[in-house]
Structure 1
Amino acid sequence: MAEPLRIRAGDSDRDAVLQVLMDAHAAGRLDMAELDERQTQVITSRYLDELKPLVADLPEGNSLVLMTGPHQGRGLATGPGQMPALHDQDAVVSTVAVMSGKNLKPARGVEKLTSFQFWGGDEVDLTEAFGPGVTITYEAVAIMAGSTITVPEGVRVQDDTVNIMAGNEIKSKAQGDGSNGTLVLSGFSMMAGHTVKLTKNK
């Protein structure tokens, strides 16, 4: 009896799984070590059957469906109404950047941004999200990657990241006195780093 055909995974399949892992981490289901271990497996996976077990025990992964039968070969997909797009007003925003990146502009009310980055990074404008007493955490796992984060005047930047052959650049003008909120950088970077800069005056 012939072995069942194994379907190769595409970049969109891996991105979908990485997003689920980031959402699960944000919800407290995976710690940083577990997140890093599974993300590494995702990046090195070649077949769809290698990806599914990485999210099978996570509620966030229920919306990932392995398409078979007449849809065979389409990979991992989501059904209508599942995995809705994140909105800026959400308290937690999760992103995945694999050899790519997004332009993000969260509104007031966001408390945490989580990101997995591999040879990529986002442009994050936090100008409208900050204000007196506001604390926003930017937690990222960055491998040969990094984001550019823009903050308004008066924001204090606290760097709690763990770095290997890497580091963050906090522009001197971007380091405020905390009168307009606090940005906490956390997570892990390898051969990578983020840049925090001040919003340009219009």
Structure 2
Amino acid sequence: MTTPQPESQVPTPQQGVQPGALRASDADRDQVANVLSTAYAEGRLTREEHDERLSQVMAARTFEELIPLTQDLVFTGAPAPAVGQQQDNRIDTSGADPTPDRMVAVFGGTTRKGRWRVRRRIEAYALFGGQDLDMREAVFESPVTEISGFWCFGGMEVKVPEGVEVQDQTMGIFGGTDISKVGDPAPGAPVLIIKGVALFGGVSVKGGAKRTNR
């Protein structure tokens, strides 16, 4: 007959690792990064605060290090409905790919259009070539999308839907950036940040009529 295990030897949660000391996974860090991106898009964090906290997220190894980074951003109870602060239906963070979307155009071109998924980070390189990104029917995987690129004797053309906020942080050397017909940012809409260097090249961002997502 099997001897019952003494109750004192049965493991309990108190005998295990404390929740805050658990190791954080890449998925955990991505979830916290999405919270920070949403807070930045809604104006609850400045760009400096967002960048500083995001650096801490990437360096975090345990839940204990992640928790303070969102304590003042996450509601623990049922939040009151806020007019104009609903998340845009073009943003879908479920199944987001954390790796950058790399686009390389050398004596050629890269095109994205239709119902495609815009990753949180895009790395664009064009040498005697260009990129054409039509985001008017796209689904954004993050409230804040960052395009970093280098355009030499080439460029990039981006079409964005109504309400998207565009921030230009590029450096132009015998080149530059042209942003037109974008309109006023809408609360909760995606934020597009463009940074990099345009050397004898350029970046063009144009607003367009909002299409119906199918």
TM-score (norm 1): 0.50
Pick 1 or 2: higher relative contact order, CA cutoff 8 A, min separation 6: 2
Larger Rg: 2
TM-score (norm 2): 0.47
